[in-house]
A = this chain, B = another copy of it.
Amino acid sequence: MATREQKELQPIDKMSPIWDSLAQGEREYLREHTLFQTFRKGEMIYCCGDKPKYLVCLVSGMVKIYKDGFSGNRPQIVRIAKPGDVFAYRAFFAKELYCNNATALESTTAYLVPVEVIWQIIQSNNKLAMVFLHFTAQRIGVSDNRTMSLTQKNVRGRLAEVLVHINENFGIDADTGFMHCKLSREDLASLANMTTSNAIRTLSTFSDDGLIEVSRRAIKILDEEKLRRVSRVE
């Protein structure tokens, strides 16, 4: 008898604590109007200039959210979404068009909630409004801190910060210790605002110094304390 490895697909309102305050009727309304969609690797989920149509709740896979670079400059990854993450709602609440892009980093599935559905529920559910307010307020802090890191830390400090962040937020393989999130050097560079060359070079020196172990795209942190120190002071 084959064991069922594949996890049962949870309904949208069980995917994130964002929906905890929803009443039963609201949950049903949400479920009924939510789409489920698959994206293949590299596929665009939304892009800069689009009018926000859906809030996205990631079910499986990984999505990079990135801004196009100014005139000839490299694009910059703002953040990477993982299963359970809810995104693509900022522009809607700000009453703006999207000003960044989202593409699947690997084969990905997601719930798409039409913004009208969110609007409908949030108008009469103050708790939901407060949850989104809490989230957006936190994200301002994250964004302002990111600005500080990208402008005041040097290349080593920025890359160390990115590695520690990925390690913390995407987890590591229980057996090998390698990080689950395997990004190309180019994407690491884009996250840490540096050239791909510098990302590659700095990974090499981190590896030479025994801070990390590198095998292709897989990275294992060997000395987290030291890496954090590099992230703090450089």
Contact = CB atoms under 8 A, between A and B. Distances in A.
A129 B133 contact: yes
A48 to B, nearest CB: 12
Given A99-B145, A147-B143, A193-B151, A137 B134 contact: no
A20 B94 CA distance: 18
A91 interface: yes
A148 interface: yes
Interface stretch (A24-32, A36-44, A101-109, A120-128): A120-128
A47 interface: no
B126 A94 contact: no
Interface in A29-86: 67, 69-71, 73, 76, 78
A80 B38 CA distance: 44
Contact of A129 (B69, B73, B94, B130): B130
A90 B143 contact: no
B94 A140 contact: yes
Nearest to A123: B126
A138 B146 CA distance: 17
Given A71-B232, A91-B137, A99-B145, 16 more contacts: A69-B152, A70-B152, A76-B152, A93-B136, A94-B134, A94-B140, A99-B144, A126-B126, A129-B129, A136-B137, A140-B143, A143-B144, A146-B147, A147-B150, A150-B151, A151-B193
